[in-house]
A and B are shown apart, each in its own frame.
Chain A
């Protein structure tokens, strides 16, 4: 029996352990888990509970604990506002654009850079570079580029007779915002896809080519299905990021003009920190949390089921 167990387990699994030893092992585990657990409870669980609690009160955030209990009034008020509907609409638009435009674009670039082309390492580096920049720097950079009067974009485009107010026009603000998001994040998704692509054995591709499959068919029926897990995780990351989108919007537009580019996180910031209605802002944060959680659970349960075999959501495979 012991011969079948290899690696570190062989060390931790000696023959029948006496009770004292088992207790000792539990103590070790507890000690190792404790720091992480304390941090998790303190920095993740506790704030969620506090936000949930505060969302039931009318509270300006000052002085001790909230006292004016108003039940779910904050939520009904939130769901009734146009701004919240605009937030949801913006979220939908950005998720759809990300999944239908940004990710396919990243995939195409990844496939291209998987070919043997001259200077591909350089291209990979250059395309990945924007992801390394902080969101704030990206925001400042693009607010200069997209400035309506002296911005680089308009200066360059005026050669072709095109001009736009970019972030200053309610009609163009969302596409402009998406452009900046794509600029910043396509390199990241490209990198994931490249890594995924390199995990696919070349033998499979070669076999298909020997069977006479065109390059499109090879891509469609070999590469794409085998990239499945990678694509699913990339969609997952993209959606969660979009739900929580804040920094870029805050710097670029502050949610404007007249809320046309506002996201839930921006609305929350507005009410919590500029207007001192912390109870109401907590309600917004709770909605964001629930939205992210529900999406994460549903997505992992149904879409990423096979990819996560053995992970927590499948209860260690004991379903």
Chain B
């Protein structure tokens, strides 16, 4: 009994320490006017190189310039990051600095009073950013974060494997895409790698098809009228099913993760599958998780769907930004500005870790594929944020979940539409 009490007491102590982590950064400005010691908690999810090192270097530089500031970074992989951030924000706290995608998730955190309105603090640097990069972090005319990355989702493919299957140029239409999948299969090549265990990569297919078939406005409208049973959405589901019926994915994809040594990224990286539908970070994660394709890696935008309402120029994707916790000291905002300064941010762009968010930064993009992504982005006719970030968490996760069921073949397109609608209606 005594021992278990000790254990419990110790656990409480530990929990106490952990819990206070979020708001521990209080500025103790000294009487003499010299700045007091400040610790900044910074949570982000750039687990892959080059960003992992680059971000750490920026933090080091900032600490060297401001000796009173200590930056404590917590770096987590995607799913773990979302879970941990949700847990701490539900307890009424937020890290001083945290990576965000904007959208419905950020809005929920703003509504809960956890995110600082930094409009006044960043007013001087706002004009430096491209409007597309900035828009996800601005709500009701207020700015809640600054972007570090912006990009879009598209197909990253292995040129050699496409050639081997006799495909001379990337498909421009959905039906051509399905034909190419068949050609790849016929050539004995696994057409697509997919992380079925993590559901977010699968939702890209449905989201892009919905964007092409139903159009951008329909996706935005669904956020308010909460109706995903419209014929266009069901049609998007049917096309996902048409793709899944071709069995284009790698063996055991339902249990595969994204960035693990045998995950989606590594499968493409090691030449075991011809393509993946992924965001602008795909090349760097591929280099990290496998051998990398080097010159053989190519990019093509998500094909147009014949007869769809959406424009081929509409892009789907997102970036990343840094938001500031409501109780964070003023140094936190200062660090966000430091991170997104031209000279500092462009280093990450040059290394191929992120895409330009600042005006005039385009020249820093060195990689040919990323140049293509950047130019597509610059000429995009419309932009849809990841659905699992744009919608409230429950709806976004249900989209992920339902698309996974659709791909696994356990649900029909109609059932999936009904399921998403039901969850959307269960939200206030």
Q: Which residues of A contact B (CB under 8 A)?
A: 35-36, 39, 43, 58, 60-64, 68, 77, 143, 147-151, 165-170, 173, 253-254, 256-259, 269-271, 273-278, 280
Contact = CB atoms under 8 A, between A and B. Distances in A.
Most B CB within 10 A of own CB, among A62, A165, A278? A62
Interface stretch (B216-224, B253-261, B316-324, B370-378): B253-261
Given A147-B252, A169-B254, A62 B1 contact: no
Interface string B269-288: 00010000000000000000
Contacts of B167: none
A148 B252 contact: yes
Given A149-B262, A165-B252, A168-B255, A61 B83 contact: no
In this complex, the interface size class of chain B, counting residues with CB under 8 Å from chain A, is 35 or more
A276 B251 contact: no
Contacts of A60: 108
B408 interface: yes
Interface of B: 1, 5, 8-9, 82-83, 86-87, 89-90, 92, 108-109, 111-114, 196-198, 250-256, 261-262, 272, 392-394, 397-398, 404-405, 408, 410-411, 426-428
Contact of B251 (A165, A256, A259): A165
Contacts of A259: 405, 410
22 contacts: A35-B5, A39-B8, A43-B8, A58-B426, A61-B90, A62-B92, A62-B112, A62-B114, A147-B255, A148-B252, A151-B262, A165-B251, A168-B255, A253-B255, A258-B410, A274-B83, A274-B393, A275-B394, A276-B86, A276-B393, A277-B426, A277-B427
Given A64-B92, A143-B255, A276-B86, 12 more contacts: A63-B92, A148-B251, A148-B252, A149-B252, A150-B262, A168-B256, A169-B252, A173-B255, A256-B255, A257-B404, A274-B82, A276-B393
A275 B255 contact: no
A173 B254 CA distance: 11
Contacts of B113: 63
A36 B410 CA distance: 49
A269 B82 CA distance: 12
B255 A257 contact: yes
Contacts of B112: 62-63
Nearest to A35: B5
A68 B255 CA distance: 38
Contact of B393 (A254, A258, A269, A275): A275
Contacts of B90: 61-62, 273, 276, 278
A64 B112 CA distance: 9
A170 B410 contact: yes
B226 to A, nearest CB: 15
A173 B250 CA distance: 17
B255 A276 contact: no
A39 B404 contact: no
A165 B262 CA distance: 13
Given A63-B112, A275-B393, A256 B89 contact: no
Given A170-B410, A273-B83, A77 B426 contact: yes
A36 B404 contact: no
Contact of A167 (B255, B272, B426): B255
B5 A39 contact: yes
A149 B252 CA distance: 8
Contacts of A275: 393-394, 397-398
Given A39-B5, A148-B251, A68 B393 contact: no
Nearest to A140: B260
Nearest to B272: A149
B10 to A, nearest CB: 12
Nearest to B411: A258
B428 A68 contact: yes
Given A62-B111, A168-B256, A170-B410, A36 B83 contact: no
Given A43-B8, A256-B196, A256-B404, A168 B253 contact: yes
Interface centre among A36, A151, A173 (most CB of B within 10 A): A36
A64 B111 CA distance: 12
B262 A256 contact: no
Contacts of B393: 274-276
